[in-house]
Amino acid sequence: MPVDTTTSPDKVVLSIGTTSAEIYYYGATVTSWKLNGDERLFVSKSAVLDGTKAIRGGIPLVFPQFGKSDHTPKLPQHGFARTTRWRWLGVSADTASEISVRFALGNADVDPALLEAWAEAQPGKVVPAFQATYTVALGPTTLKSHLAIQNTGTAPWDFTALLHTYLAVGAIGDVSVTGLQGVRYVDKVADGAEATETRESITVDGEVDRVYVDVKTSPSTRLAVVEKTPGRPTVSVHRSALPDVVVWNPWTEKARAMGDFDDDEYRTMICVEAGHVATPYTLPAGETWTASQTLAV
């Protein structure tokens, strides 16, 4: 069965050949992407999967706010999209080369208190009217995420958004991220200091939390997670309308401080997150913002 919605009331399972994916309705969070049985997304063994807390791992959707903001202090970190159950819209494509399914989220699906918190940062403190549609497409060697956000109201409003992708790796010491050389970044570990990346291949040997701003793409430069571990092929990250890239690993102290993340799991994961987060995006009334990410092996 290429699209299985019957096994669990909490998620949908996609399969095409020997490749599969799982998406929870809660947060529309992709929690698994397996190729020939090899899991390429990281989900913590301590992740909460009962809909009471954001899922620690997979690809949580960050919207309408990245991180915490002084403008909207009552809005939770990373907004409400990842902590709200999305509506199932069904299968949008089912072919031999790709299966895609869609989910939706709008004002009626969200806790009114969270909408009011979002409104605090908007002109006139008016609650933004929105409709979000999220499409996940699975191919034999690809996983595509497409997010469309429509302003259904009469006034413009601001937001930030990001695909908080957790990638599973064999060993963090054998991992490097390429495609960010020459890019300016904000280093959250260094109290927001700004610098320019000089390395062709970024390795991780301590806590890292950097927002790379306005990352260009070209045929000669690709954003990729490269592993030395045998049998772990490179994952390429292709982006559209997502100019910024966050690289994150909590390392030892932050790992121990998280109740839904095992102490040593920082060794087998890295987050490479495509988003529009360095500056807010202003969406005019009646218009739709679209963005996408493709993970390819």
| Binding residue positions for substrate | 56, 77, 82
Q: What CA–CA distance (Å, rounded) separates 116 from 125?
A: 8
The token duo for 19 is: 């490749």
56/60 Cα distance (integer angstroms) = 8
Residue ranges of the binding site: 56, 77, 82
Of 22, 227, 265, 273, which is the active-site residue? 273
Is 101 in contact with 136 (CB distance < 8 Å)?
yes
- Contact indicator for 90, 79 with CB cutoff of 8 Å: no
Round to whole Å and give the CA distance between 168 and 267: 9
What single string gives the DSSP state of each residue in 30-70?
EEEEEETTEE-B-B-TT---SSSS--SBSBPEEBS-SS--S
149 CB-near residues (< 8 Å, 6+ apart): 63, 130, 131, 132, 159, 161, 283, 288, 289, 290
Catalytic residue, chosen from 164, 197, 227, 265, is: 164
Structure tokens at 137: 């497409």
Question: Which residue is it, tokens 């090899």?
Answer: 38
Angstrom distance (rounded) from CA 297 to CA 295? 7
Residue 265 annotated as catalytic = no
Based on the residue annotation, tell me whether 273 is a catalytic residue of this protein. Answer: yes
- Residues identified as active-site: 164, 273
